[in-house]
Amino acid sequence: MATHGSLVLLTSLVFEVLALRNLSDSRLKVMATSVGFYTLVHFIVSPPSGSFMSIWPLGMNIHGLVQRSFNYLWLRSPTELTRKEDGQDGVKSSGRNLSVLDALGIATTFRGVGWRFQAKHLPVRSSTATFSRVGFALSQVVNAALRFLALDFAITQVNMSMSTMNHVSIPRRLVVGALMMLYVRWTMDIPYRVASSFAVLAGINTPDEWPPLFGEWKDAYTIRRFWSHTWHQGMRIIAEPPVDWFVANVLSLQGGSYFARWSIVFGNFLMAFVNHAYGRIMAGGDPMNDWVMFTAHPLALWVEDSLRHVAVTAGLLDKHHRSNLEKCVGYIWVSIFVCWTFLDFMEGAIRLRGDVPKNGLIEPVMGLSPLSHPDHYGRESQLRDLKALVSEDEVVTPLDQTYEAESQTWSSGKNLSPKLVVRPQTIESLAKVVKFLGESSLEFDVRNSGAGNSSAKDVLVSTRAFRDFDFDRENEVLVIGAGCLWGEYYDQMRVVAPDYSVVAAATPFIGVGGSTIAGGFSVMSREKGCISDPANMLDAEIVKLDGSVVWASTEPDLLWGLRGGYIGLGVVTKLKFRAYKYPQDIWGGHIIVPRSKEKEQEVAGAIAAIDRSGKVERRVFMLLLLMPDVIIINASDALGEKHGRSTFEPILKIQGAIDTTRMMDLGSFASMQAPGEQLKGKKQVWWNPLALGQLSEDFLRETFEWQRRKAAEGIDAAVMYEFWGTRGPSGGPSASVWPRPSHVQHFCMLSVATRPDAPVHEVEKTRSVITRAPRELLGDKYDDSLVATSALDEFHDVRSRAGMVNISKKDVPASETEAWRTRGLVE
């Protein structure tokens, strides 16, 4: 039995994992259909007997397998299967790839043990870096073989004990119960190990993509994942003696009698219901489904047995052998299960009206143990309650036409396809939403323009409706909604106070709120500092996680935490900025240089000469983009054309340089970057941002050459510079969460990208390039403190970067400590 069950699961698992990765929509659907046929063929090749008791477990398994296959592959496209890599230790899936865990989720349903995984809680396989592919595969196969041999022996003992269970002592029952739980655990672990060895050996995956199926026994993850899901498999055996005792001593029914036998059957099913319902309730589910199932099963057994008893008494059936008619009854039960599967699937689809959750129709589970924090009710119920808190026009679902625009991320691989986008229109509505989410188990994030990568599997909160704009000329203060884009700011400021400007970003399509609390670089940063510095960002209105609305200045530690840390202490709705008199006519525009290796060297030499000349005034700024055929330089000088041409003369005199500069205002200069928004959501992108001091000609050449080398290797790499776009903290290193070195002047953004449907090996290769890039370019001069907070990616470990972020529990208000912990910034 153990051998047969393991081989069935192994076949299914290997079939799914090897076949379902990196295929098109149509091929995925063909595979889903094949899984359904696979289950039907299993029935035909191995005909079931007529007994319901022998049919229903297999029927349950097939019901689960077919339903999960339909959920994953017919209701959802590969794009929607993308998983966020942030915080998912050991899980790497990207683009349109169907992850190993998705395939595993389908295949393991075949065992019928109710395993519903939580990818974000997978333990890390810390030792895989030392494994070669062959070594990893060999270790997995050997471990699986040893477990298989032990499992065969164990299940044989269980089967022998089960035949005389009525005479087994309670201690022996405890041992049998433990063996049953081990059986359930290892029937998942064995094929998982074998499949991982095949996939890694074939080069489909890396060892890191197959993390341990179970963690240590002591951790809460394993308690939730294994014990809570499978304990009833052993507990139901241990619970049988109390049922026998109750029937014999309380009901006083004679052993072996008709009523005693069926009282025991119904009593055991009642105990099974209690065991299942406990886990269901702790998971936030409805135990009525378990009640129906564990009531219907003994009733079906009783009806079937009663009819057979009548037929045997009448001489129509042999008491000891199954007739062909009875075997046909088995196929009738099969038909019932197939119909049930279809109807259950259709009911789920109708109930959700096509709004299929990220994890399929089966809701994800959390807190399945009294030793872990319980989730009070299921995700779908929480989502319904959240929708009831706000008006209909404040909710965007995947069926709405605006959903894509409201949920899109810059990197396609970071889009988690949230089940719900909430766009509160008032501060009161937002406060209710934040309080609700803070108390729920829903995963959520906050988004404005989508230029960053904010996303969540459950709820995305949009701040785009918060676009206040109030300029106080007398006090030179601007209060602006965090939902504004910088392009909208420039448009309104041009009308209200064209002779003033706050320290504003030079990219028009990024949000005011997100860019500010991430640090904020500006055309004016050389003169005034970063956007979030104390002299520039005076205050912020924020909805805290408890739903209260405060101005952060009333809680100094909270205001400090908003300066450059980008750490989810709440939702910022308004920002108060200092405004400064600033020229309306500045000299600026594109300087375009045809790209070649020689021109790259000339440009690097010219920039290094300008930087070390000592003539760069505080109102000078320059942006550089490396394009395939040209080098684009956006130059700006608020001191006028004469000064600008003098400052940028080394670049302007490069032979072949095209000068398109003219007089303009700050908004017009920023609008030159507007075409960049077209790249949003088109690729999977990874960033590595650096804040640097004075740049040498050699370093500039090396970054240009790095991009050229990677392009030759087939890597879509990019380099972008903002020269004189930042400086050291104006209030000293302790004035903000991001202290940054005092000598910084320039911002360098290194990035790599792949197509959305790139295979795993290509994603891993590309990602490794960007993680190594800073050390590759800077060598011994690299220091973690050089990493800027404006565009952190999932491989940036803030906790390990001494000096990068000022983090201390004593600096955080007690009410906010948990928020910091969930962001990984305090232990």
Kind of pairing between the strands at 459-462 and 444-447: parallel
How much is the average pLDDT of 390-419?
91
Burial-class residue 668 by CB neighbours within 10 Å (0-12, 13-18, 19+).
middle
What 8-state DSSP symbol labels residue 53?
H
Residue 422 falls within a domain, yes or no?
Answer: yes
Residue 102 reports pLDDT greater than 60: no
Over 90: is that where the pLDDT of 825 sits? no
**CATH code for the domain of 727:** 3.40.462.20
Same domain for 708 and 692, yes or no, is yes
Question: Is residue 372 in a domain?
Answer: no
Residue 50: partners with Cβ closer than 8 Å, 6 or more residues away? 322, 325, 326, 327, 328, 329, 330
Q: In the chain, what percentage of residues exceed pLDDT 90?
A: 30
Give the pLDDT band of residue 827 (cuts 50, 70, 90): very low
In a domain, 273, yes or no: yes
* Shared-domain flag, residues 641 and 566: no
Whether 361 is in a domain gets the answer no
Give 335's pLDDT tier (boundaries 50, 70, 90).
low
Q: Of 195-204, 364-373, 629-638, 755-764, where does the model show the most confidence? A: 629-638
| CATH code of 393's domain | 3.30.43.10
* pLDDT above 80 for 317: no
Q: Among 130-139, 665-674, 686-695, 753-762, whose mean pLDDT is lowest?
A: 130-139
pLDDT recorded at residue 228: 43
Provide mean pLDDT across the span 607-628: 88
Mark whether 339 and 202 lie in a shared domain. yes
pLDDT tens digit string along 768-817?
Answer: 899 899 888 888 887 776 777 777 777 766 544 433 333 332 333 333 33
Residues 729 and 679 in one domain: yes
Confidence of residue 76 (pLDDT cuts 50, 70, 90): very low
Alpha helices (H) in 353-483, listed in sequence order:
379-389, 403-407, 427-439
Give the residue-averaged pLDDT of 616-641.
92
Instruction: Give the pLDDT score at 574.
Output: 96
Q: pLDDT tier at 543 (50, 70, 90 boundaries)?
A: very high
The model's pLDDT over 175-188, given as tens digits with 9 standing for 90+, comes to: 666 666 666 566 55
Q: Are 683 and 736 in contact (CB under 8 A)?
A: no
Average pLDDT of span 69-98: 33
Question: pLDDT confidence of 235, banded at 50, 70, 90?
Answer: low
At residue 368, does pLDDT exceed 80? no
Measured between alpha carbons, how far is 515 from 527 in angstroms, rounded to an integer?
19
Position 354 pLDDT exceeds 70: no
661 and 531 part of one domain:
no
CA distance 68 to 12: 13
- pLDDT for the residue numbered 234: 52
The answer to whether residue 710 scores a pLDDT higher than 90 is: yes
Q: Are residues 483 and 458 in the same domain?
A: no
Mean pLDDT of the chain: 71
- Res 350: pLDDT: 40
Indicate if the pLDDT at residue 63 is higher than 80: no
Instruction: Check pLDDT > 80 for residue 712.
Output: yes
pLDDT at 172: 63
Q: 632 and 753 in one domain?
A: yes
Residue 659 has φ and ψ, to the nearest 5°, of -100, 115
Is 370 within a domain? no
The verdict on 595 and 532 lying in the same domain is no
Mean pLDDT lowest among 173-177, 678-682, 731-735: 173-177
Determine the Cα–Cα distance for residues 464 and 462; give it in Å rounded to an integer: 6
Give the tokens for residue 233: 């498999």
Would you say 530 and 503 are in contact if contact means Cβ atoms under 8 Å apart?
Answer: yes
Statement to judge: residues 327 and 412 lie in one domain: no
Alpha carbon separation from 390 to 407, 433, 434 (Å, rounded):
18, 8, 12
Do 458 and 474 fall into the same domain? no
In a domain, 355, yes or no: no
Average pLDDT rounded to a whole number, residues 191-202:
72
Furthest CA-CA distance within the chain: 113
One domain, residues 426 and 475: no
Q: What is the pLDDT of residue 582?
A: 94
Give CA–CA dist 6/154, Å, rounded.
Answer: 14
- Domain of residue 538 covers 469-582
pLDDT at 450: 85
What is the Rg, in whole angstroms, of the alpha carbon atoms belonging to the chain? 32
pLDDT score for 413: 86
Residues 329, 458 within the same domain:
no
Q: Looking at the predicted structure, is the pLDDT value of residue 283 above 70? A: no
pLDDT score, position 146: 85
Q: What is the tens place of the pLDDT at every residue in 503-525?
A: 999 999 999 998 898 888 899 98
CATH of the domain at 503: 3.30.465.10
pLDDT for the residue 690: 86
Overall number of domains in the chain: 4
What is the average pLDDT across 443-467? 91
d(CA 700, CA 697): 5
pLDDT category at 635 given cuts 50, 70, 90 is very high
**Residue 681 region, left (φ>0) first, then alpha (ψ -120 to 50), else beta?**
left
